[in-house]
Structure 1
């Protein structure tokens, strides 16, 4: 589900969604926000058709139905879209809070004025402090005073509710930001994952030109299955983490190293020559080949680890799939030629 909405448009949609949410039996939590935001955002969506059908049959959405709708239609809500929804909701709550504060201030001044007038009309003093002669209708003023006090209490409660909502939105924003960051990091190695790599590659190719030529390296650990079979998967994970640490050390911005598969890594160089890319690839190959990784709790090094690599230089007209495919084919060439080497794609 994609939402190409500005914060202003998100705010307007949330203004439409809030009254609808308030009529349901489900609580006003982030899942409910997402369902009703999607409902008002697209009048032709499958979610809206299902919600309308349910409302016609049952009259309101309960917690279980809201959760089912969210999982069925919105579980793939991307982090950027969720961030825009959160931003819009925070802007809306902030505006409502400011308006409530203003209304409370005005109500307070109104209440003070009524108190003063009630005292004067009850025969206490004139505005200039002189004794008053006539008494006013105290019953009416008492009623007005009672309503005013109730209004002040209501406004205070409203401000408290808005403050609570603001804290909830702040928490939601933090969760969205954390989810966004975590969704782009490989949990085992700490490198960017395939999703992050794909996004960076798309950005990189959009900026590519004859004077800004990206280059892609695809790296694969040789005989990794044999390592897992011989030493166990925990040690295989240790090898992957060690290679990732090496990549983090040798690959610096604006280049990007990512884990894109089981034992497969990628290095994206946004603006480089093929010679510079091959120099880095060779440095990576030699460093890995010279490394000896030991199992935890043992001083005995294992057999030599090596990398095969495929390199592809961007050429005008290349889309992401074409560049990756050429780098992959070069990797297969390196494997077929005996491994522990770098092969270059035709260009």
Structure 2
């Protein structure tokens, strides 16, 4: 996206953007300024549509979505040039590789031709007392050609190595971007994302419903001791998959830590949160895992749930504490159940 407004136009867009951010409780950071500046300028209609939908769903624009919209609608445009440069570099490497291969073939052919010529001249020279000066020249050329051939082969190996390194760096970059916000084992958002999103939602005050669901896999330590950590990881992956399937927008599922998960529910009442938790409880209870070694089916997996809703004066810590207490109560009451902390 190119910014070519006059100072007066830019100031006017900013004057429109700031009240919108205040009214929708958008944190005043540079990324959000750019988003809402673009919004009021209406330069990217797809961005406006996405922001309107986000406001309708959440009543604000959570940081996580702000970052995603920024990358999708603003950064991607700005990065096209750098991507073209990258693509050009890759194409150059590929071209060099092809040219070098062709050069090797040509040099091999040239070297073979010189060797044949040298052999023919040697046969003709067997009856002569003195060697032909031409033979000496050709011998020298042949040796130099072999040297060129070796150097070209080495260059080709270096190009091959560069191509492999580029591919590895690209994969590493993609992985690093994912690692910043995703839990490696389950593919859910991680605790860093949870803390950021919860803090923003709590700062909005009591102007909208907000619920938190905490869940914990029952007797997980005993499960690990009985079946091993690899089976334990498989259980966590199954739970993570269920959360992804069941927790559609605006719900935000995360791996809180260990065998504990959390779900943020902006715009959800406590009754709706309990319904979500109960639905998930039944799905976890239905998990069946077959052991490859014995062929037996494990059907003893359950989870306990605690829910809490935001009240005026709550902080992130107090909301987590109440949801955690409700979770503890569910375990005290026999596990595999949902407890509400209001």
TM-score, with length taken from structure 1: 0.48
